[in-house]
């Protein structure tokens, strides 16, 4: 059995996660205790509201009780597990919400308590919660006859500490990018052990499609070829954060991009690699027409569409020899945007007889609002002239100077 949990805030986001039926085959609200609201979102908002008048910033405690397959808990065992964890955390009698999730035939339970002691209006400490989780899990395994799951904090008995399990954010990233963290760890560790210094390590990462970057909260991260972010210390086997910091000390920190700059460089590289394939697929689609005319028409339409983008849209991305050149260009993009803002007001072509020409010759400044009004007036006048041309009774001027009636 695995039990995880932590203090948090944000009842609305938590309600959306616990009530998500898109990623779970079954979602069931088991219990709401100590709340007036009987629905999931209302009960969680109420639990969060108990912190008003205190200094607690994380008033909710969210825990997940996950029996290892093929074990399943009976309703009695489920409530026994919830009560045991509640007692260990010091939250006995606190209002709570219990939700059951089932996915791929595996059932687990979510429990949310308020940490606020309403009698004394203070929050209950959440210190050493990981150890408490494991102590309760080992006790419940013995009670229910389940196989033991070795933890990292309790009842080690000389057993080597197991690898950390991926966080929820890491699991979502794996689903989004299709790149597993354990595969990245194996490859990055192999690269590090084959290099003799940080510069060679950085170059070897780039050869494999990774970009070394400065983390927002960590010292170093690597960005994979799908834009996923990985803590470098957690992707190297046998090296902790302090040892990594010492190893990377000779590296010039000024030339290491930020996470945002590295992701933009990765996106640009992927675009350059994908462009030839897109062009090949486009040309291949031309041959699917029934005859030469349909093929030519499809090619002409595509040409006109791309030409319109070149004429009216942004300039196509430049080609860079390396990610470092792309990153340097990103850093200077801010200065270029400021210069372009001062060059936005350009002269626009004036139609013959347009009143805007008169305003220009008189030295009057045409604002954006005036230009829109003048364009609207010109369009109405042009529409009126077009309607006159469609009138069959209107006298038209003949080429020789005389007049003739339309037929």
H-helix segments, 248-396: 259-286, 292-312, 323-331, 333-341, 355-361, 368-390
Give 279-290 pLDDT, tens digit per residue.
Answer: 666 656 655 555
**What's the whole-number average pLDDT of the chain?**
78
Q: Which is higher by pLDDT, 364 or 199? A: 199
In the CATH scheme, what architecture does the domain 2-144 have? 2-Layer Sandwich (3.30)
Distance CA 243, CA 123 (A): 37
Could you tell me the two tokens for 71?
């074990």
Phi and psi at residue 326, to the nearest 5° = -65, -40
Give 44-77 pLDDT, tens digit per residue.
Answer: 999 999 999 899 999 999 999 999 888 899 999 9
**What residue spans define the domains of the chain?**
2-144, 168-256, 262-336, 349-407
**Nearest Cα to 137, choosing from 99, 94, 84?**
84
DSSP letters, 25-85, are: SEEEEEEEES-S--SHHHHHHHHHHTTTTS--S--EEEEEEEPPTT----HHHHHHHHHHH
pTM score, whole prediction? 0.54
Phi and psi at residue 193, to the nearest 5° = -70, -15
- Could you tell me how many residues make up the chain? 407
Q: Which is higher by pLDDT, 100 or 285? A: 100
Strand partners, 313: none
Listed in sequence order, the residues at least 6 apart from 215 whose beta carbon sits closer than 8 Å to its beta carbon are 221, 229, 231, 259
Least confident of 162-176, 324-338, 370-384: 324-338
Could you tell me the two tokens for 52?
């008003």
Distance of CA 220 to CAs 62, 81, 190, 253, 379, Å? 30, 40, 17, 10, 59
Strand partners, 61: 7, 113
Confidence of residue 143 (pLDDT cuts 50, 70, 90): very high
Percent of the chain at pLDDT above 90?
Answer: 31
Instruction: Assign 262 to helix, strand or coil.
Output: helix
pLDDT of residue 88: 93
Expressed in percent and rounded to 5, the helix, strand and coil fractions of the chain are: 45, 15, 40
pLDDT of residue 396: 45
* Cβ pair 135, 88 in contact under 8 A: yes
* Cβ pair 89, 129 in contact under 8 A: yes
Instruction: With a cut of 70, say whether residue 319 has pLDDT above it.
Output: no
Instruction: With a cut of 60, say whether residue 121 has pLDDT above it.
Output: yes
Percent of the chain at pLDDT above 70?
Answer: 69
Confidence of residue 172 (pLDDT cuts 50, 70, 90): confident
Confidence of residue 353 (pLDDT cuts 50, 70, 90): very low
């Amino acid at each position: 059995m695995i039990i995880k949990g932590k203090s948090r805030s944000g009842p609305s986001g938590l309600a959306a996660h616990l009530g998500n039926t898109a990623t779970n085959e079954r979602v069931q609200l088991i219990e709401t205790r100590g709340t007036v609201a009987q629905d999931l979102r209302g009960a969680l908002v109420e639990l969060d509201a108990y912190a008003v008048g205190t200094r607690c910033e994380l008033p909710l405690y969210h825990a997940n009780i996950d029996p290892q397959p093929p074990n399943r808990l009976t309703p009695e065992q489920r409530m026994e597990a919830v009560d045991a964890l509640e007692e260990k955390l010091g939250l006995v009698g606190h209002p709570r919400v219990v939700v059951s999730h089932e996915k791929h035939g595996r059932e687990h339970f979510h429990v949310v308590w308020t940490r606020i002691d309403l009698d004394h209006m203070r929050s209950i400490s959440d210190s050493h919660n990981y150890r408490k989780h494991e102590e309760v899990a080992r006790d419940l395994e013995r009670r229910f006859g389940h196989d033991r799951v070795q933890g990292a904090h309790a009842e080690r008995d000389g057993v080597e500490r197991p690898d950390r399990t991926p966080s929820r954010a890491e699991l979502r990233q794996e689903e989004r990018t299709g790149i597993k963290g354990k595969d990245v760890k194996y490859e990055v560790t192999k690269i590090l052990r084959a290099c003799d210094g940080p510069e060679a390590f950085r170059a070897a990462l780039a050869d494999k499609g990774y970009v070394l970057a400065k983390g927002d909260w960590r010292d170093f991260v690597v960005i994979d070829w799908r834009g996923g972010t990985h803590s470098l210390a957690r992707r190297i086997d046998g090296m902790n954060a302090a040892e990594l910091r010492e190893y990377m000390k000779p590296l010039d920190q000024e030339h290491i991009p930020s996470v945002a700059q590295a992701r933009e460089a990765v996106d640009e590289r992927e675009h350059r690699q994908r462009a030839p394939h897109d062009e090949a697929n486009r040309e291949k689609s031309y041959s699917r027409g029934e005859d030469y005319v349909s093929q030519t028409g499809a090619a002409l339409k595509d040409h006109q569409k791309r030409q319109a983008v070149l004429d009216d849209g942004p300039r196509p991305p430049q080609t860079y020899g390396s990610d470092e050149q792309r990153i340097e260009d990103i850093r200077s993009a801010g200065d270029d945007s400021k210069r372009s803002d001062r060059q936005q007001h350009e002269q626009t072509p004036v139609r013959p007889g347009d009143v805007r020409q008169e305003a220009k010759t008189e030295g009057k400044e045409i604002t954006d609002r005036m230009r829109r009004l003048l364009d609207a007036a010109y369009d109405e006048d042009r529409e009126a002239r077009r309607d006159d041309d469609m009138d069959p009774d209107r006298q038209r001027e003949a080429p020789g100077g005389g007049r003739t009636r339309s037929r």
